A and B are shown apart, each in its own frame.
Chain A
Amino acid sequence: MAEILVIMLAAILTENFIFIKFMGICPFLGVSDKIDKSLGMGFAVIFVMTLSSAVTWVVYHFMLVPLGLEYLQTIAFILVIASLVQFIEMFLKKNVPALYSSLGIFLPLITTNCAVLGAALLNISNGYSFIESVVFGFSAAVGFTLAVLIFAGIREKLKYADVPESFKGTPIALITAGLIAMVFSGFSGISFT
């Protein structure tokens, strides 16, 4: 149990996907201009990353390893993730239309979110068990959501700030992200072992 907690806290704070590991920066910069939009994206990522961590773990350990095809993991994982996203989209559209209308537009974007593939690859290279993989995928996605939400809150205020001409748009967003990253690197002093 303690190990699970360590994985969770590490994935959310000390090893935050956005600010420490730099994964999923594209959606992070893309959807973080409004709080409700980033919340939607965050929930979609939590949903997909938890499921894809589980599915890719099963695919790796029960299909690729017995067949000796470990070197094909990148191709196999991206196909699994792409079809999983497609499947979730169709399932939600048919069975849970309310959820689909709020998450729907974010789902296709997730296929090319490197955090999802990154989490799947890290699960394998860290040698996690099935439970640990699912927990890691879930908490890394929670860390992503936390980062996007904090950032969106600041960005909404940033719109009214008097930013120098050349810094408008991406540069000021990156510098803001840099300042938040400094805060997050403060967590790295915490050790959970």
Chain B
Amino acid sequence: MNKIIKQFKDAAILNNPTFIQVLGMCPTLATTTSAENALGMGLAATAVLILSNVIISLLRKIIPNQVRIASYIVIISGAVTAIELLMKAYLVDLYDSLGIFIPLIVVNCIILARAEAFASKNNVFSSFIDGVATGLGFTGALFIVGCIRELLGAGSIFGIAILPEALHATIFIMAPGAFLTLGAVIALVQKIKKTLENKKKAEINTENDGEEVII
């Protein structure tokens, strides 16, 4: 159980696909115009990630090494097509607002990266956990950016009005706002990371100091 928690923490937070590894930028910028769209995109990508990780892990001993990337792409696009057809059938509104970015999950580097780096080397269960964790890390990142943009740009979150109309800065739900928001959020993440590292270093130093005093 501890191992699973650690795997979650590693894949979703410490190596967050969006904020730390800076992968999959296109959907992160394009579909975060509102919290709802961001969540929908994140969950669709998570579903594809889980599906492709499990299938690739099941087939990892059968797929010949030379053609593995091509095989992964076929498996991933199969999974994407399945999710796309399901969304078209049951979630029409969301499908319409995400538009072309649903089929474009195929070329999302996060999914191919997890297939190559994890699912091709590990058993089905841990590949499944990896898919869930990475997917949720991606969804969380999209959700944060989506909330900020919707709040600043349209004054609401999930369509519930929060800010008065005079405070709406429409630019945040337009194209430039996506770049500005994501840039600022990643800068904040880097700042937090740096502060935590410094703190850890300081703790180690004080521990050492303490030992010296004892000696």
Contact = CB atoms under 8 A, between A and B. Distances in A.
Partners in one complex: yes
Interface of A: 19-26, 29, 71-75, 78-79, 82, 111-114, 117-118, 121-122, 125, 164-175, 177-179, 181-182, 184-185
B29 A22 contact: yes
B100 interface: yes
Contacts of A172: 183
A185 B174 contact: yes
Contacts of A113: 107
B29 A25 contact: yes
Contacts of B100: 118, 121-122, 125
A86 to B, nearest CB: 9
B26 A25 contact: yes
A24 B103 contact: no
A171 B106 contact: no
Contacts of B194: 165-166
B186 A171 contact: yes
Interface string B61-91: 0000000001001100110110011000000
Given A22-B26, A22-B30, A166-B191, A174 B183 contact: yes
Given A24-B26, A74-B106, A170-B22, A178 B180 contact: yes
A185 B177 CA distance: 11
Contacts of A168: 190
Contacts of A26: 23-26, 109
Contacts of A121: 100, 103-104
Contacts of A72: 81
Contact of B176 (A21, A79, A170, A181): A181
Interface of B is mostly: helix
A79 B71 CA distance: 10
Interface of B: 22-26, 29-30, 70, 73-74, 77-78, 80-81, 84-85, 100, 103-104, 106-109, 112, 171, 174-180, 182-184, 186-188, 190-191, 194
A184 B174 CA distance: 12
A82 B81 contact: no
Nearest to B191: A166
Contacts of B104: 23, 114, 117-118, 121
Nearest to A112: B107
Contacts of B179: 174-175, 177-178, 181
Given A21-B30, A24-B26, 19 more contacts: A23-B30, A25-B25, A26-B25, A73-B103, A75-B78, A78-B73, A82-B70, A112-B107, A112-B109, A114-B26, A114-B108, A118-B100, A165-B191, A167-B190, A170-B22, A171-B186, A174-B182, A178-B177, A181-B175
B183 A171 contact: yes
B180 A78 contact: no
Contacts of B175: 19-20, 22, 181, 184-185
A156 B66 CA distance: 38
Contacts of A173: 183
A82 B182 CA distance: 30
Contact of A185 (B26, B103, B176, B184): B176
Contacts of A21: 30
Contacts of A164: 187
A79 B175 CA distance: 30
A83 to B, nearest CB: 9
A117 B22 contact: no
A41 B15 CA distance: 28
Which of A20, A24, A26, A178 has the most chain B CB within a 10 Å cutoff? A178
